[in-house]
Amino acid sequence: AQSVAQPEDQVNVAEGNPLTVKCTYSVSGNPYLFWYVQYPNRGLQFLLKYITGDNLVKGSYGFEAEFNKSQTSFHLKKPSALVSDSALYFCAARRGSTLGRLYFGRGTQLTVWP
């Protein structure tokens, strides 16, 4: 079975500090990996994706993610957190052959305190 795990339900970090939101996956083949963010009562907004190539991918709003094939991980990072980054973050994976179907993690609530 395909699955994505986000081991932390909550991450709290002080503004200005670096943040990491963890994600591991168990998806066959060479999956495509994504991060999305969700603000209260809103849909999901795309942040970044990894398809192939450089293991460090850069995305929107200063976020980046590091792909590690041996550890089957795709952790989201930001060098300096902002209060406005507080939101619910979802990691997702897709098998290349199944267009449109994403396997989501349970989400990590990020709180950045001033």
Among the listed residues 25, 89, 90, 93, the single contact to another protein using CB under 8 A: 90
Nearer to another protein, 69 or 114 (CB): 69
107 is an interface residue for another protein by CB under 8 A: yes
CA count, 13 A, side-chain hemisphere, 43: 2
**Mask for 11-40, x = binds another protein (CB under 8 A):** ---------------------x-x-x----
55 is an interface residue for another protein by CB under 8 A: no
How many CB atoms neighbour CB 10 within 10 A? Answer: 8
Among the listed residues 102, 108, 110, 112, the single contact to another protein using CB under 8 A: 102
Q: Are 45 and 56 in contact (CB under 8 A)?
A: no
Q: Are 47 and 36 in contact (CB under 8 A)?
A: yes
3 is an interface residue for another protein by CB under 8 A: no
Q: Which amino acid is at 35?
A: W
Q: Are 3 and 25 in contact (CB under 8 A)?
A: yes
Interaction site with another protein (CB under 8 A): 32, 34, 36, 41-46, 49, 51, 90, 96, 98-107
